[in-house]
Amino acid sequence: MKVLVVGGGGREHALAWKLSNDSCKPDVFCAPGNAGSSSCATNVDIGAEDLSGLMAWARENRPDLTVVGPEVPLCEGLTDLLEAEGLRVFGPSKAAAQMEGSKIFAKDVMNAAGVPNAKSASFTDAAEAKAYIRSEGAPIVVKAEGLAAGKGVTVCTSVEQAEAAIDEALVAGAFGAAGDCVLVEECLIGEEASILAMIDGEHVVMLASSQDHKRALDHDEGPNTGGMGAYSPAPVVTDELWPFIREEVFGRTLAELKRRGITFKGILYAGLMMTEAGPKVLEFNVRFGDPETQVILPRIAGDLLPAFEACVDGTLSDSLIQWRDEHCVTIVMASGGYPGSYEKGKAITGLAAADGMAGVTVFHAGTAHEGESVVTSGGRVLAVTAVGSDLRSAVELAYTAVPEIRFEGAHYRSDIAARAL
């Protein structure tokens, strides 16, 4: 069996790693992949956003299944293009991907469906947005309406900070077209959690809970990032909450999409805030999270491909995913300066020592080969991942492995999972 994984980050390395270990031993290809994915897949030198290049490769090589990792190709319709060629794809259609590609579309769906979420308003005019902010007060959240690589959200503790965020998006154009419209939301208070669900158009199989750490620095300080670490399961998601999340979040959302003539197949990811009034949706994504994938996939016992294929075929069931009774944590090692500007090409040492530790897997994100060396090529460079019988042992193992790896300017948070512990 031939499987193509689209993308080149830590999520895609984790997907390629897990799929390559399936019992049918598929031939896994990763486009473009990274230095880590080359150890478990054949890297293909085509960017994840190069839809014409991906389509040309797919027509020639006819993969049995394509798994799309990032949001941009999904939102641009890669699934639709591949399916038009008679190829099987794990990932939602362009219409369904609006749940991530347009925050206003997602809000409209949630409000129509009665899904609990934050009060909000959208603006294209900076003066109107600022007037609304002054009327609502702070704390308040400003979001770029479109895709901004996880960096278009500003949690503002003052009206002045919120007005500056409006200027950044609507006046300075910091997020390009993604920020031509902004969503201003009430700031929900509580603890965050990520719940990912596999969906085949009808059936929902929820994956293990996890919690991401978005801020760049310890104690949840510093700017937002794509994610500096995660752990699974997240104890804030109690057993009593699962039925509510399944029905009130995923069930209602799918029913409203279906009412609009949209069939959702693939991963639907709900970022939730556990408020005093119960779980509320912060945002939806339409793909595996990063770094959530790195802590969820190691906890899946057995094969993953049958569940992916069942999503395509409409035959998904809970029995297709079995869970290990283990905890998992991942620590992101980032380039100096991330999430701002950073240098690339820094040599990385100690990878074999860390990856060789029992219970540790090092997923590559922003890495590349340079001759015989592995060097940095992105902001988030590595996700050092460990499993343990409990959360504390997993955390301790991960933080034992991290110092084995060195590259100039490396930084990472030292408090991943501290809240749960």
Reported confidence tier of residue 398, pLDDT bands at 50, 70, 90: very high
Task: For residues 171 and 220, state if they share a domain.
Answer: no
Task: For residues 25 and 86, state if they share a domain.
Answer: yes
Using a 10 angstrom Cβ sphere, with 0-12 exposed, 13-18 middle and 19 or more buried, the burial of residue 170 is buried
Predicted pLDDT of residue 148: 76
Find the mean pLDDT for residues 73-81: 98
Find the mean pLDDT for residues 337-354: 96
Task: For residues 291 and 277, state if they share a domain.
Answer: yes
Amino acid code (one letter) for 99: M
Find the mean pLDDT for residues 369-398: 97
Predicted pLDDT of residue 373: 95
Evaluate if pTM is beyond 0.85. Answer: yes
CATH of the domain at 143: 3.30.1490.20
Residue 150 within a domain: yes
Residue 112 within a domain: no
Residue 293 within a domain: yes
Task: For residues 167 and 198, state if they share a domain.
Answer: no
Task: For residues 36 and 144, state if they share a domain.
Answer: no
Task: For residues 346 and 358, state if they share a domain.
Answer: yes
CATH of the domain at 54: 3.40.50.20
User: For residue 151, is pLDDT > 90?
Assistant: no
Reported confidence tier of residue 152, pLDDT bands at 50, 70, 90: confident
Distance CA 3, CA 19 (A): 8
Task: For residues 161 and 244, state if they share a domain.
Answer: no
Predicted pLDDT of residue 24: 95
User: For residue 417, is pLDDT > 90?
Assistant: yes
How many domains in the chain?
A: 4
pLDDT, tens digit, 9 for 90 and up, residues 214-254: 999 999 999 889 999 999 999 999 999 999 999 999 999 99
State percent of the chain over pLDDT 90.
91
Task: For residues 279 and 296, state if they share a domain.
Answer: yes
Using a 10 angstrom Cβ sphere, with 0-12 exposed, 13-18 middle and 19 or more buried, the burial of residue 34 is buried
Residue 102 within a domain: no
Q: What is the mean pLDDT of the chain?
A: 95
> E-assigned strands of 8-69?
27-32, 42-43, 65-68
CATH of the domain at 231: 3.30.470.20
> Kind of pairing, strands 367-370 and 27-32?
unpaired
Contacts 24+ apart (CB under 8 A), 156-162: 156/187, 159/133, 159/134, 162/130, 162/133, 162/138
Amino acid code (one letter) for 54: L
User: For residue 396, is pLDDT > 90?
Assistant: yes
Find the mean pLDDT for residues 342-353: 97
Distance of CA 412 to the CA centre of its chain: 18
Distance CA 258, CA 243 (A): 21
Residue 118 within a domain: no
Distance CA 120, CA 107 (A): 8
Using a 10 angstrom Cβ sphere, with 0-12 exposed, 13-18 middle and 19 or more buried, the burial of residue 301 is exposed
* Domain of residue 360, residue span: 327-404
Predicted pLDDT of residue 177: 84
Task: For residues 319 and 341, state if they share a domain.
Answer: no
User: For residue 150, is pLDDT > 70?
Assistant: no
Task: For residues 305 and 222, state if they share a domain.
Answer: yes
Task: For residues 173 and 197, state if they share a domain.
Answer: no
- Residue that is written with structure tokens 């700031």 in the block: 187
User: For residue 43, is pLDDT > 70?
Assistant: yes
User: For residue 351, is pLDDT > 90?
Assistant: yes
Residue 419 within a domain: no
User: For residue 63, is pLDDT > 90?
Assistant: yes
User: For residue 149, is pLDDT > 80?
Assistant: no
- Enumerate helices (H) and strands (E) in the chain, giving the number of each: 14, 24
- Residue that is written with structure tokens 């590349």 in the block: 368
Residue 413 within a domain: no
Give the residue from 323, 349, 375 where a domain finishes: 323
Question: Whose CA is closest to 12, among 288, 207, 206, 301?
Answer: 288
Task: For residues 396 and 313, state if they share a domain.
Answer: no
pLDDT, tens digit, 9 for 90 and up, residues 165-184: 999 888 888 788 878 899 99
